[in-house]
Structure 1
């Protein structure tokens, strides 16, 4: 959905204090803030539904690819959500070394990866599958478990773990 074709019945204050229709980006930004308030540091990610709701709210609506990770403790409680890499409309460069550094910095025991497909096509590409294997192998060397890799495409989310790909 492009922001230019979006009409909103939600109103926000402009700089002069007048009420004006909110843009799609303002609405999505506020949704991301609300999901952060709802699921705070220490919240347990014990069900696929909670993971999908959280990641769907965080990654839907971007017009470029974003690669993120949920870094978790040994009881799958949230340590930190980090948007690690930003890309173009159809790809993002991901560096396993940087992912491992972040996991060690946060003392994570487990991780759930996520990225969005702005195209709206949710199926994992061969590049997604290869990247997931590389990240999993790199993290295994430092005893961090890879639990899942979720792809967000609009309102649809795909779990690579549920598909047997993690």
Structure 2
């Protein structure tokens, strides 16, 4: 046999090992044959996604692609549609807490695992765009990162981006979470943490689960307290961002800072 014969090219199936194995309790039984129309649907959907790109598939079909590995040999379209119906869109599905996902019939451990892998991947990709770079020179990437991490949370979260003297990101830390319309913030703890990290500047970020990023009177008052606490120790607050579902509010752009 020649080298050319040994390594001759042959057509390989798309995502040939994409099906998750059956749960252990099912491995000794004969699995039902997948209906041909389901197999063809999966193949057509994958090919369309690869050839035409992500914009060629709506949210529920993109979710189907994610669910294929978690739910082998079954039609996942009804589950994908139910998840979209329950949570609103693709982003809110993958960002939903595991406890809420479990309340949807048909969602088990493998489905939650696949969704959370996608969520973690999106967060890491967006974070990579701002790591080791001066944050103020990649502001759009920073906004994308904040939206990816916070826009679809169901309760308010408050986080702080700690920057060094060159405005490079030192740390991104969740300082607390609260209810649907309130999160407790402790300026003394924030500036204490800044000193521990030897930070020179801060960017404050919190989300509004309602989707409307307009700051409340409490948001404005808290920001004033944070500015006073930071200035007393020589720290700069570059901005306070309120993240909504589709947009954000910048305290600096609005003239509050």
How far apart in 2 are the matches of 1:132 and 1:96? 9
**Corresponding residue for 2:205?**
114
- Out of 143, 167, 174, the position equivalent to 1:83 is 174
**Corresponding residue for 2:64?**
9
- TM-score after normalising by structure 1: 0.85
Q: Which runs of 5+ in 1 are unaligned?
A: 1-5
How far apart in 2 are the matches of 1:89 and 1:81? 22
Secondary structure of 1:68's match? strand
Structure label with greater radius of gyration: 2
The number of equivalent residue pairs is 158
Please identify runs of 4+ aligned residues in structure 1 that moved more than 4 A.
Answer: 17-23
Correspondence 1:45 to 2:135: yes
Contact 1:28-1:61 within 8 A present in 2 as well: no
- TM-score after normalising by structure 2: 0.56
Q: Residues 151, 10 of structure 1: CA spacing in aligned structure 2 closer, same or farther, 3 A cutoff?
A: farther
Secondary structure of 1:92's match? coil
- Out of 94, 102, 106, the position equivalent to 1:24 is 94
How far apart in 2 are the matches of 1:44 and 1:152? 21
**Corresponding residue for 1:3?**
none
Higher relative contact order (CA 8 A, sep 6+): 1
How far apart in 2 are the matches of 1:165 and 1:105? 27
Give me the CA root mean square deviation: 2.2
How far apart in 1 are the matches of 2:250 and 2:119? 22
Q: Residues 99, 81 of structure 1: CA spacing in aligned structure 2 closer, same or farther, 3 A cutoff?
A: same
